[in-house]
Amino acid sequence: AHPTHPLALLAVDGLLSDEERAIRDTVRAAADRELRPHVAGWFEAGEIPARELARTLGGLGVLGMHLEGYGCAGTSAVAYGLACMELEAVDSGLRSLVSVQGSLAMYAIWKHGSEEQKQRWLPKMAAGEYIGCFGLTEPDAGSDPGAMRTNAKRDGSDWVLNGTKMWITNGSVADVAVVWARTEEGVRGFLVPAGTPGFSAPEIKMKLSLRASVTAELVLEDVRLPADAMLPGARGLSGPLGCLNEARFGIVFGALGAARDCLETAISYARDRTVFARPLASYQLTQQKLADMSVELGKGMLLALHLGRLKDAGELTPEQISVGKLNNVREAIAVARECRTILGANGITLEYPVLRHANNLESVLTYEGTSEVHSLVIGKALTGEQAFR
Ligand code: TGC
Ligand code: FAD
């Protein structure tokens, strides 16, 4: 019999509008043409042509695609999620570039910036001419960003920033860093242009995950900024945490792209591979694995779409995003690891995408709120008791 694609099992495509399908298909075709052929090489080298990639992604219209105005496409949240899914089907690092650019750096400026800040940065960021990064995490403050030490002090009308940010995606290639710092009036956001004296962004090497993504430290030593470098609209920790909601939403869809790519690879491999004189796909144990994985992929997709529809209706809550991020990343990494078993020894190489995806998903499980953090967010919603501290 002719095999059915795992997502076709639940006829998920029928739940998308024509426009959503068209955007998804365009991103998929471009990703397969321009990104997929190179990604294993980038991962192996631990280097990406970030500037060229940003322009390619800008040309495709996916940078800040769900934002309105300033050169952004203003698509639905679901369309943005589907684009994340197609990019992450190639590599989580490429989706990371897009998430950080569009949902964190651009969103922070779009939501909290002055008109001048928006005009200066957003159109070029949408086009991929400028790259942005988002510095919240510090060496000693990850899950608990309220413990940040980076500070900004007034000196006349200027601000002087000191501190260190850690694990910052796009950091060393960014033209502008959105840096969150403690001030006398609580946490505030600052736009730090690359090249500002006292600011440096050394790249973090020797990663075993997200090797096709730039990760850096941000070092701020008496970085002097004019008064208008501050984002006027963000006050307190709710400023950066509100931005995280946007990127976490993209990951709810994105992680499923990595899982789908693994499952497609494993099904095709199992059909071609002969073991004990029969196709690997013909054994019950293999079919059980494939059935369980496609059930999780389908459920994750329905969850993502439901959250996307809520977001487009303006009703999505942070707790609901936590449900999606927790479930879909947890299931995606389980799928990637199970698919690796189906590929046997071939599964450990970069000839196939599965272990690359599994390793990437280790980062995805940790960044944008670890699984534990999202469990605690859900636990708080269920009980009214916070168990973070
Ligand atoms: P808590 O006291 O609960 O809240 C402080 C203030 O923030 C508000 N808030 C939110 N606002 C909007 N959206 C959310 N999701 C929010 N969560 C909380 C809250 O209402 C309060 O506002 P106000 O006005 O009353 O002050 O904060 P807490 O200190 O107890 O911490 C809560 C916790 C642990 C959930 C939170 O801090 C957290 O989410 N921790 C995880 C940190 C995290 O996710 N970091 C991600 C860094 S960026 C990144 O990883 C990019 S990787 C992307 C890529 O490469 O793709
Ligand atoms: P910790 O907070 O030290 O946590 C360690 C462990 O303790 C985890 O298992 C955690 O779940 C657990 N834990 C924490 N609190 C509790 C608790 N209350 N109860 C029980 N268990 C708990 N950050 C940015 O700001 N910008 C970026 O662009 C960015 N990009 C990243 C890219 C990569 C590749 C990676 C790996 C990380 C990136 N991060 C970025 C940082 C990321 O957001 C943090 O790593 C994450 O928030 C977790 O912080 P941590 O690593 O300090 O772990």
Q: Name the 3-class secondary structure at 251.
A: helix
According to DSSP, the residues that pair with 274 across neighbouring strands are: 279
In 3D space, the residue among 366, 344, 342 whose CA is nearest the CA of residue 262 turns out to be 342
Quick: pLDDT tens for 320-336.
Answer: 999 999 999 999 999 99
Structure tokens at 358: 């599994």
- pLDDT for 230 equals 98
DSSP assigned state of 5: P
**Ligand 1 binding pocket mutation candidate from 238, 360, 367, 389 (most atoms within 8 A of CB):** 238
pLDDT-derived band at 2, boundaries 50, 70, 90: confident
Q: Does residue 121 surpass a pLDDT of 80?
A: yes
Compute, in angstroms, the gap from residue 139 CA to the centroid of ligand 2.
10
Alpha-carbon distance of 209 to 357, in angstroms, equals 9
Query: Which amino acids bring their CB within 6 angstroms of ligand 1?
Result: 96, 99-100, 134, 136-137, 143, 145-146, 169, 236-238, 241-242, 244-245, 247, 318, 367-369, 373, 377, 388
Q: Does residue 181 surpass a pLDDT of 80?
A: yes
Average pLDDT (376-382) is: 98
- Specify the residue with its C-alpha closest to ligand 1, atom 20: 238
Residue 76 near ligand 2, beta carbon < 6 Å: no
Quick: pLDDT tens for 294-315.
Answer: 999 999 999 999 999 999 999 9
Structure tokens at 114: 């002055």
Compute, in angstroms, the gap from residue 238 CA to the centroid of ligand 1.
7
Q: Of residues 68, 115, 368, 372, which has the active-site annotation?
A: 368
Q: Which atom of ligand 1 is nearest to the CA of 99?
A: 56
Q: Which atom of ligand 2 is nearest to the CA of 368?
A: 43
Q: Name the 3-class secondary structure at 235.
A: coil
Neighbours of 272 (CB within 10 A): 10
Percent of the chain with pLDDT over 90: 98
Q: Name the 3-class secondary structure at 172.
A: helix
Average pLDDT (98-109) is: 98
Q: Determine which helix (DSSP H) or strand (DSSP E) holds 359, and give its type and residue range.
A: helix 354-366
- Specify the residue with its C-alpha closest to ligand 2, atom 15: 143
Residue 375 near ligand 2, beta carbon < 6 Å: no
Q: Name the closest ligand to CA 369.
A: 1
Average pLDDT (264-292) is: 98
Least reliable range by pLDDT among 6-10, 50-54, 228-232, 265-269: 6-10
pLDDT-derived band at 128, boundaries 50, 70, 90: very high
Q: Which residue has the higher pLDDT, 318 or 4?
A: 318
Dihedral over alpha carbons 270, 274, 278, 279 (to 10 degrees): 20
- pLDDT for 190 equals 98
- Which residues fall within 8 angstroms of residue 269, CB to CB, at 6 or more apart? 280, 342, 343, 346, 352
Q: Can 368 be counted among the known catalytic residues?
A: yes
How much is the pTM?
0.98
Residue 169 near ligand 2, beta carbon < 6 Å: yes
Alpha-carbon distance of 78 to 321, in angstroms, equals 14
Q: Does residue 260 surpass a pLDDT of 90?
A: yes
Q: Which atom of ligand 1 is nearest to the CA of 95?
A: 56
In 3D space, the residue among 109, 176, 169 whose CA is nearest the CA of residue 136 turns out to be 169
Quick: pLDDT tens for 134-148.
Answer: 999 999 999 999 999
When the pLDDT of each residue in the chain is averaged and rounded to a whole number, the result is 98
Quote the ipTM score. 0.98
- pLDDT for 353 equals 98
Structure tokens at 207: 């990663």
According to DSSP, the residues that pair with 135 across neighbouring strands are: 179
Q: Determine the longest span between alpha carbons in the chain, in angstroms.
A: 80
- pLDDT for 294 equals 98
Q: Does residue 1 surpass a pLDDT of 80?
A: no
Q: Does residue 218 surpass a pLDDT of 80?
A: yes
